[in-house]
Amino acid sequence: MDCLFCKIIAKQIPVDLIYENEKVVAFLDINPVNPGHLLVVPKVHSENIAVAADDDLIALTLAVKKLAPAVCAVTACDGWNLEVNNGNAAGQAIDHTHWHIVPRRKDDGFKHWPGHPYAAGEAAKIIALIRENLMS
């Protein structure tokens, strides 16, 4: 497998792990939005959150709960984003499930995407289609 994160987990590529348990690893993003930007990665390969095992997603959540307050304490941030990119169009650069903890400051200049209101009747149609397509 030619997955960068799998190679990091297998210790084929050196990285300074900040956190590791039996299910996940966490390390600094090499292109951080802000200092302290972490990646939290399950040890078992899965392409994205939609196909990741439930127990890996639980482990990611618990690791984020532990790591984010530590990141904020160190960076004196005003808050933090938990970011998950699924698929190339959404900005996922490595096809291995991973979550970003991004420390934020009120004046950091990082802007979220613009929102657009729904056209008349559009929201109801989308709601119905999503409900019809929910995975069990």
Q: Any idea which residues carry the catalytic annotation? A: 98
Tokens found for residue 66: 């532990």
Read off φ and ψ for residue 32, nearest 5 degrees.
-70, 145
Token pair 């959150």 is found at 49
